[in-house]
């Protein structure tokens, strides 16, 4: 578990297919993201169980995002998948809206990267 990122303590909630690391400020978003990821339909041509258990990090700041991703992701990126860790990272910084259509597309896109890895 990530205890802290960019100086902020992180919490964790777990579901059937994913667990979410987040700050207290993002607790409602984390619960909604967990429901979204747990409810993902099977990826085309793959078993329902793919990807397996996924860790999703809701980075509260761009500094936290860089800390998890190693600062190798372009600043315009809304998310990244790290297949070897079965982890996806998205930011909640700058008013990012993970629950709107674009945010859900980003989550699904990173989920697919993990499933296809």
- Where in the chain are the domains? 4-116
Beta-carbon contacts of residue 66 (< 8 Å; ≥ 6 apart): 73
In the 8-state DSSP scheme, what is residue 100? S
Question: Are 43 and 116 contacting, i.e. CB atoms less than 8 angstroms apart?
Answer: yes
Cα–Cα distance between 42 and 62 in angstroms, integer? Answer: 31
What token pair was written down for 74?
Answer: 């372009």
CATH placement of domain 4-116: 3.40.30
What is the chain's percent helix, strand, coil content, to nearest 5? Answer: 40, 25, 40
**Confidence grade of residue 73 (pLDDT, cut at 50, 70, 90):** confident
Residue 56, pLDDT above cutoff 80: yes
For 81-96, how does the pLDDT look when each residue is reduced to its tens digit (9 = 90+)?
999 999 999 999 866 6
Q: What is the pLDDT of residue 96?
A: 65
């Amino acid at each position: 578990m990530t205890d802290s990122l960019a100086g902020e303590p992180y919490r964790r909630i777990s579901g059937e297919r994913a667990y979410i690391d987040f700050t207290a400020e993002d607790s409602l978003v984390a619960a909604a993201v967990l429901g979204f990821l747990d409810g993902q339909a099977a990826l085309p041509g793959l078993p329902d169980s793919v990807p397996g258990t996924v860790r999703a990090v809701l980075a509260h700041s761009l500094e936290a995002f860089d800390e998890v991703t190693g600062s190798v992701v372009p600043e315009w990126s809304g998310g990244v998948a790290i297949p070897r860790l079965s982890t996806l990272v998205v930011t909640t910084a700058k008013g990012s809206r993970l629950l709107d259509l674009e945010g859900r597309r980003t989550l699904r896109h990173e989920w697919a990267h993990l499933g296809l890895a």
